[in-house]
Structure 1
Amino acid sequence: MIPGILDIQQGINFSDRNKGYEIGLTVRFKDRTSLENYGPHPAHQEIFNYLKEIGLEDVIIVDFDVK
């Protein structure tokens, strides 16, 4: 478990407006510090490297605050 993660959702993109992206993932964090710690965390790196090994080609990342 990576500290500071409140929720993770993922799903297959069924839209014809997907610009080639097939999977969506949202991760909700406790705070911005948790977000900053997520990227370099060893558990995240392990999953990210696995995804690259099985064919991950590109990602779009959007960070935003919910008020």
Structure 2
Amino acid sequence: MKKKINNWDIVIVKFNQGVDEKVKQQAVEDILALKNKIPEIKKISAGVNFTDRSKGYDHGWVVELEKKEGLGVYNEHPEHLAYVTKYRPLFADLIAVDYES
């Protein structure tokens, strides 16, 4: 039997100082909403860091993609690009990791 491969996109962000908590919450809601807009997304979760181990990174999300090639489609999808345009200027820093398991 062929082993199922999962494809993951993990992003953690550090918002700029002074960004309102309501804006941060909307950023989480908007990333979660991409699940219903981008067919390549199998699952998505997002939330706020709750420990002191994050080196200032305060929010993160995990996107499970149907297949590895879906990452490029997801990254270039108009809904994702709209999210990036809206929120990227509010991030002091961002780290992304993409892998298969």
The normalised TM-score by structure 1 is 0.87
Backbone CA RMSD of aligned residues: 1.1
2:71 maps to 1:41: no
> With CA pairs under 8 Å and 6+ residues apart, which has the higher RCO, 1 or 2?
2
Q: How much does 1:3 deviate?
A: 2.0
2:92 is aligned to 57
Matched, 1:10 2:41: no
SS of structure 2 residue aligned to 1:9: strand
Extract unaligned runs of 5+ from structure 2: 1-36
What is the CA deviation profile of residues 31-60 of structure 1, one whole-angstrom value per residue up to 9, with x for unaligned ones?
01111211111100101111124x122111
Is the 1:3–1:34 contact (alpha carbons within 8 Å) kept by the matching residues of 2? no
Query: Where has structure 1 moved over 4 Å in runs of 4 or more?
Result: none
Give the superposition deviation at 1:24: 0.8
Q: Kindly tell me the number of residue pairs found equivalent between the two proteins.
A: 65
The Cα of 1:20 is off from its aligned counterpart by 0.9
The structure richer in helix per residue is 2
* TM-score in terms of structure 2 length: 0.60
